[in-house]
Amino acid sequence: MNQSSMEERFRYDCSGRWFKGNLHMHTTRSDGRLTLAEASALYAERGYDFISITDHRVPFIGAECDEKLPIMILDGIELDGRDDQGSGYHVVCIGNVGGISRDMDLMEALEKARSQGSLLIWAHPYASGNTVEEGLRHGFHGIEMYNYSCESGLGKGHSSYHWDSILRQQVDMLGFATDDIHFFEGLPPQVGGWIMVNAPELTPETILASIRQGNFYSSSGPDFKVIYIEKVNRIVAETTPIVHARLVGPGGAGKWKAEVDLGDVTETHFRIPDDWPFARLEIEDAFGKKAWSNSLLKSER
């Protein structure tokens, strides 16, 4: 059987528009301090195009919401609890979360979400003390590789090790940056982790479809303007000004470029080695803020 070429497996299609969103946040419906209206207004004022409300064990279903809100909101919920082997998890579920109730244990709620086609994101594995093996157990579609609240509050928001370890076996595991904001008293309502989705238009259907395809990147600061492949295996990215660019591969494998005089670099390129099971792009600006692509190549179909 002939293997697909890198160009055929390339994940990104940047022909649409970029839309900014946050997929993990809490309101007074669970343990957040702001109401649904207040929280959605805050993100609208900061230029976001969409959010998902993911209160603990309380599903947000837009079709059942009577409030007129200033931003597009995707259905969501955050599940938590222990699985049938005693491991504790937090799981963000996006889309198709109806029928999930507080009285369900984690396994029952996960099965309900999965059977309905919900997108399952393994939340803050470093802060939760999860192992890589636990992340392979339940067929998650993605992982929070950066959680702003866990990083700012606990110093445990980066889960790149978990992500890269799983990518060696599951190249389609998607990586998400989120806020996980609760608007706690005494903490500024800052936003620090988001995704940029490339889609033809801003509707729940098109945004969710692009997210499922991995046609998005995550950021805490800089932006990818376009990512494309040429000449078989040459990856090119046009960006906002950056000082570091990295092609991250398996184990200790990687390539990097740096601008030591902190000049404005707005384009970078790398060649993906044939023997890498995955490769992803990471860029960093002069303030130490980063952005992360998904695995640039999809799995063989």
Look at residue 263 in the predicted model and tell me its pLDDT: 67
Looking at 3.40.190.10, 3.20.20.140, 3.30.70.360, 3.10.105.10, the CATH number of the domain 11-220 comes to 3.20.20.140
Domain boundaries, the chain: 11-220
Low-confidence residues of the chain: pLDDT under 50: 1
- Helix, strand, or coil here: 297? strand
Look at residue 202 in the predicted model and tell me its pLDDT: 98
Look at residue 191 in the predicted model and tell me its pLDDT: 82
Q: Model confidence over 165-186: pLDDT tens digits?
A: 999 999 999 999 999 999 887 7
- pTM equals 0.96
Look at residue 148 in the predicted model and tell me its pLDDT: 94
Report the alpha-carbon distance of residue 33 to residue 123 in Å, rounded. 20
Nearest-Å Rg of the Cα atoms of the chain is 19
Q: Model confidence over 249-266: pLDDT tens digits?
A: 999 999 999 886 656 799
Look at residue 27 in the predicted model and tell me its pLDDT: 96
Q: Model confidence over 65-79: pLDDT tens digits?
A: 999 999 999 999 999
Look at residue 186 in the predicted model and tell me its pLDDT: 74
Look at residue 184 in the predicted model and tell me its pLDDT: 82
Q: Which two tokens stand for residue 172?
A: 């389609």
Look at residue 260 in the predicted model and tell me its pLDDT: 67
**Who's near 75: CB < 8 A, 6+ residues apart?**
52, 59, 60, 61, 62, 94, 95, 96, 97, 98, 204
How is the chain split among helix, strand and coil, in percent rounded to 5? 20, 35, 45
Look at residue 185 in the predicted model and tell me its pLDDT: 79
**Who's near 54: CB < 8 A, 6+ residues apart?**
23, 24, 25, 26, 60, 76, 77, 78, 92, 93, 94
